């Protein structure tokens, strides 16, 4: 497991080199909330964490009491697009008086818009009871960052697994005067990052066929189009199938 923190303005001014010296390898930083709010320490935290050698991600606190999830997504992306990052996160933990169906649909629309704008599949952050009682199975195609402060690993949800576990809100690390959320991230997810891993612009990170597409491209079995797309969702023609079969038999792969 990889040790990390998540921070916002509530941690005040952070001494990032000291944080890094305490074994922290990543930081997920609050960027925005709702339609207009920007965390006042966003720039300090993003620049400081990156310069200290940490991998960084950004999160947006979702407000389902608004009626424009796409605008919330655009607000988030506009504020983080000029920083380096590995992960983008939707923090959904408050229904804000809305029913489950509204919250689920609102969250889905935000996630889709962020993925469309960035080609990065966002992570869903929530806590165990919210995942069970509100989200259910609706968002299990997205990686899960789960908050669970009881001893032992996170409880069961509709997700079969999680990529990051926030295990306390009362952690202490060098460089931060006060409590901070502490997290464990699974090593394979940390090493792989959330960014798209194929060269095709129509294959977002986390696509169900991502590994297969990357493989057939690397071995020359299937190639993309001149516009740098793979052709996701397109029907294959008989002549294209013939080329694939020819290559399978050892024909020209150029």
* Number of neighbouring beta carbons within 10 Å of residue 6: 24
> What is the pLDDT confidence band of residue 254, given thresholds at 50, 70 and 90?
very low
Domain boundary among 144, 170, 192: 192
**φ, ψ of residue 30 in degrees (nearest 5):** -70, 130
> Can you give the pLDDT at residue 3?
97
Q: Are residues 163 and 58 in the same domain?
A: yes
Q: Measured at the alpha carbon of residue 236, what is the angle toward residues 233 and 237, in degrees to the nearest 5?
A: 145
CATH number where 116 lies: 3.20.20.80
Percent of the chain's residues with pLDDT above 90: 63
Q: Are residues 79 and 151 in the same domain?
A: yes
Mean pLDDT to the nearest integer, 161-172: 94
* Model pTM score: 0.76
Q: Are residues 180 and 227 in the same domain?
A: no
Q: Are residues 147 and 184 in the same domain?
A: yes
Q: Are residues 140 and 53 in the same domain?
A: yes
Q: Are residues 160 and 219 in the same domain?
A: no
> What is the pLDDT confidence band of residue 208, given thresholds at 50, 70 and 90?
confident
Mean pLDDT to the nearest integer, 26-55: 97
Mean pLDDT to the nearest integer, 188-208: 68
Q: Catalytic amino acids?
A: 6, 93
Domain boundary among 144, 176, 192: 192
Note the pLDDT tens digit of each residue in 73-114: 999 999 999 898 999 999 999 999 999 999 999 999 999 999
> What is the pLDDT confidence band of residue 198, given thresholds at 50, 70 and 90?
low
In whole angstroms, what is the distance from residue 186 CA to residue 212 CA?
Answer: 22
Q: Are residues 49 and 158 in the same domain?
A: yes
> Can you give the pLDDT at residue 148?
93
CA distances (Å), 123 to each of 51, 55, 87, 206, 238, in order?
24, 15, 7, 10, 38
Residue 54 has pLDDT above 60, yes or no: yes
> Can you give the pLDDT at residue 199?
67
For the record, the structure tokens of 85 come out as: 């990052």
Domain boundary among 170, 192, 214: 192
Q: Are residues 101 and 211 in the same domain?
A: no
In whole angstroms, what is the distance from residue 83 CA to residue 167 CA?
Answer: 27
Q: Are residues 174 and 202 in the same domain?
A: no
What total of structural domains would you count in the chain?
A: 2
Mean pLDDT to the nearest integer, 32-48: 97
For the record, the structure tokens of 62 come out as: 């979702």
> Can you give the pLDDT at residue 217?
78
> What is the pLDDT confidence band of residue 16, given thresholds at 50, 70 and 90?
very high
More confidently predicted of 48 and 241: 48
Q: Are residues 26 and 65 in the same domain?
A: yes
Per the structure, the complete domain to which residue 222 belongs is given by 196-254
Note the pLDDT tens digit of each residue in 220-233: 788 788 887 888 88
Q: Are residues 131 and 35 in the same domain?
A: yes
Q: Are residues 153 and 55 in the same domain?
A: yes
């Amino acid at each position: 497991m990889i040790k990390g923190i998540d921070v916002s303005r509530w941690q005040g001014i952070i001494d990032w080199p000291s944080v890094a010296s305490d074994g922290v390898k990543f930081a997920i930083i609050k960027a925005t909330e709702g339609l207009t709010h920007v965390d006042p320490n966003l720039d300090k935290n993003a620049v400081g964490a990156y310069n200290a050698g940490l991998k960084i991600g950004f999160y947006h606190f979702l407000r389902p009491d608004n009626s424009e999830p796409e605008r919330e997504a655009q607000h988030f992306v506009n504020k983080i697009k000029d920083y380096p990052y590995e992960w983008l996160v939707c923090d959904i933990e408050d229904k804000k008086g809305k029913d489950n169906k509204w919250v689920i649909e609102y969250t889905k629309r935000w996630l889709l818009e962020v993925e469309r704008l960035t080609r990065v599949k966002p992570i869903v952050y929530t806590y165990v009871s919210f995942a069970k009682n509100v989200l259910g199975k609706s968002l299990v195609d997205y990686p899960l960052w789960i908050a669970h402060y009881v001893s032992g690993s996170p409880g069961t949800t509709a997700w079969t697994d999680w990529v990051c576990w926030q295990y306390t809100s009362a952690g202490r690390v060098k460089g931060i005067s006060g409590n901070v959320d502490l997290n464990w991230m699974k090593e394979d997810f940390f090493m792989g990052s959330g960014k798209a891993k194929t060269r095709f612009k129509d294959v977002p990170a986390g696509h169900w066929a991502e590994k297969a597409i990357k493989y057939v491209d690397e071995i020359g079995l299937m190639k993309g189009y001149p516009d740098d797309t793979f052709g996701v969702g397109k029907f294959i023609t008989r002549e294209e199938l013939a080329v694939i079969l020819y290559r399978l038999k050892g024909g020209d792969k150029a």
